[in-house]
């Protein structure tokens, strides 16, 4: 009897344990399946497209406006539409099964939270502030082609060469890179370069070009050499403003100052007064240009022009004193010859040096 009871109890315990194992088996398999699916999903979200060669990203930038060129800070602000195109076979789908020809994710929420693919995070290398993104659209085609379109506003730092001011021509450059990847992983290629009818006060747009290059950066993947996309805009300053404000009036004033060589030598005080009026005018123009020009450490064309005008008018004061001294020593003939000579030497020298400065400027 006792043996029978023990056998029954053992059978009951065995059946109960088997039932627990049968129930627990699907529960243990489900987390494993979910973990494998999560790992697979992470590979889609986080990894580069599985290609033997680097991922090719075709970049296009349509510049819609250049808001400002700041010579003091050597920056320019621009607005444009940046388009990135690359291929990711993992994102290919069957249009019939999906019910759409292409999947579209638009706006920050859909792009950041719902889009399932890796994308190239492009940053402005020579940014002088934050790069503002005003809108974003990701178009995923059935063959795996990904098209990322975003409208951006940014301020870029660029080197300005003002030696020829106000006849200078500048190249404004915006340099983009895919953050965190070297050129063995991601390569940027030039797409289509376009620009609207741009208008910038005091500047004329002369051309637009785009190129790619490799630069060494410490944070760019394993090799430390990143692929860069460079958008360049060539602009030329409209010199009419400075020409009518400074150059032409000062040339007339300097030439009028040379009229002292036609004045009576006996009125030395009047001659020197005319010369000093011209000198003070040149100093006033230098003050005006200091307010217009940025604080730079080299000499520009306008600096040379102002200094030339100033020095030649100082020269008229010196000649006036020499002529007055000759008259005091009764050397009237020599004083007259000096006046006659200076009537031609000063204007020819002044205009000749201006022409030479233009010739030298054209070689810079």
- Local confidence band at 29 (pLDDT 50, 70, 90 cut-offs): very low
Q: In the prediction, which pLDDT does 42 show?
A: 46
CA distance 68 to 154: 11
- Quote the CATH superfamily of domain 240-363: Neurotransmitter-gated ion-channel transmembrane domain (1.20.58.390)
DSSP string, 143-197: TSEEEEEEEEEEEEE-----TTTTS-EEEEEEEEEETT--TTTEEEEEEEEEE--
Residue range 78-106: mean pLDDT, rounded = 89
Q: Tens digits of per-residue pLDDT, 128-137?
A: 877 888 888 9
**pTM tops 0.85:** no
Coil/strand/helix, residue 297: coil
Nearest to 175 by CA among 159, 192, 196, 195: 159
Nearest to 142 by CA among 101, 105, 90: 101
The H or E element containing residue 344 is helix 332-363
- Checking if the pLDDT of 27 tops 60, the result is no
Residue 86's nearest CA partner among 186, 177, 227, 194 is 186
Q: Which two tokens stand for residue 30?
A: 């489900």
Q: What is the DSSP letter of 200?
A: B
Long-range contacts of 46-50 (CB under 8 A, 24+ apart): 46/118, 47/118, 48/118, 48/181, 48/185, 48/186, 49/86, 49/87, 49/88, 49/89, 49/90, 49/118, 50/89, 50/90
Per-residue pLDDT band for 77 (boundaries 50, 70, 90) equals very high
pLDDT at 38: 42
Give the pairing of strands 225-237 and 102-106: unpaired
Average of pLDDT values for 252-272?
A: 90
Kindly provide the b/e burial profile for residues 211-238, where b requires at least 16 CB atoms within 10 angstroms of the residue's own CB: eeeeeebeebbeeeebbbbbbbbebebe
- Count of CB atoms within 10 A of residue 174's CB? 27
Residue 342: half-sphere exposure toward Cβ, Cα within 13 Å: 24
Mean of per-residue pLDDT scores for the chain: 83
pLDDT at 114: 61
Which residues, 6 or more positions from 30, have their beta carbon under 8 angstroms from its beta carbon? none
Nearest in space to 277 (alpha carbons), one of 264, 263, 260: 260
Output the pLDDT for position 150: 93
Q: Check the CA dihedral 23-28-30-33 and report its sign.
A: negative
Distance CA 222, CA 4 (A): 73
Cβ-based burial of 37 (10 A; exposed 0-12, middle 13-18, buried ≥19): exposed
**Tokens coding 304:** 């040379």
Look at 338 and 49; give whichever has higher pLDDT: 338
Question: Which whole number is the average pLDDT over 3-32?
Answer: 51
Contact 245, 289 (CB under 8 A): no
Return the pLDDT at 117: 73
pLDDT, average across residues 138-160: 92
**CATH class name, domain 55-236:** mainly beta
Rounded average pLDDT over 27-46: 47
Strands 186-195 and 55-70, by their bridges, are parallel
């Amino acid at each position: 009897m006792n043996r029978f009871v023990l056998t029954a109890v053992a059978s009951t315990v065995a059946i109960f344990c088997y039932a627990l194992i049968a129930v627990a088996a699907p529960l243990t398999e489900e987390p494993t399946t979910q973990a494998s699916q999560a790992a697979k999903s992470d590979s889609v979200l986080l990894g580069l497209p599985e290609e033997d060669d680097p991922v090719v990203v075709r970049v296009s930038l349509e510049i819609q406006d250049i808001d400002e060129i700041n010579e003091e800070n050597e920056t320019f602000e621009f607005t444009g539409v940046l388009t990135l195109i690359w291929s990711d076979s993992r994102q290919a789908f069957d249009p019939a099964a999906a019910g759409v020809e292409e999947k579209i994710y638009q706006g920050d929420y859909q792009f950041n939270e719902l889009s399932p693919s890796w994308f190239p995070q492009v940053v402005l290398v020579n940014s002088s502030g934050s790069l503002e993104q005003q809108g974003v659209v990701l178009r995923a085609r059935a063959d795996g082609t990904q098209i990322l379109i975003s409208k951006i506003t940014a301020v870029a730092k660029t080197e300005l060469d003002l030696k020829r001011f106000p006849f200078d021509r500048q190249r404004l450059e915006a340099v983009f890179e895919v953050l965190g990847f070297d050129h063995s992983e991601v390569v940027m290629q030039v797409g289509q370069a376009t620009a609207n009818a741009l208008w910038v006060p005091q500047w004329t747009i002369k051309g637009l070009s785009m190129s790619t290059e490799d630069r060494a950066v410490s944070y760019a993947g394993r090799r430390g050499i990143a692929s860069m996309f460079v958008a360049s805009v060539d602009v030329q300053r409209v010199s009419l403003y400075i020409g009518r404000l400074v150059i032409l009036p000062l040339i007339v004033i300097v030439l009028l100052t040379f009229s002292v060589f036609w004045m009576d030598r006996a009125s030395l005080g009047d001659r020197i007064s005319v010369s000093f009026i011209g000198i003070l005018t040149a100093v006033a123009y230098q003050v005006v240009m200091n307010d217009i020009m940025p604080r730079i450490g080299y000499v520009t064309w306008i600096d040379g022009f102002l200094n030339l005008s100033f020095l030649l008018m100082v020269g008229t004061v010196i000649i006036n004193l020499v002529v007055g001294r000759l008259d005091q020593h009764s050397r009237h003939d020599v004083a007259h010859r000096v006046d006659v000579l200076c009537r031609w030497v000063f204007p020819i020298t002044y205009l000749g040096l201006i022409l030479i400065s233009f010739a030298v400027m054209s070689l810079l």
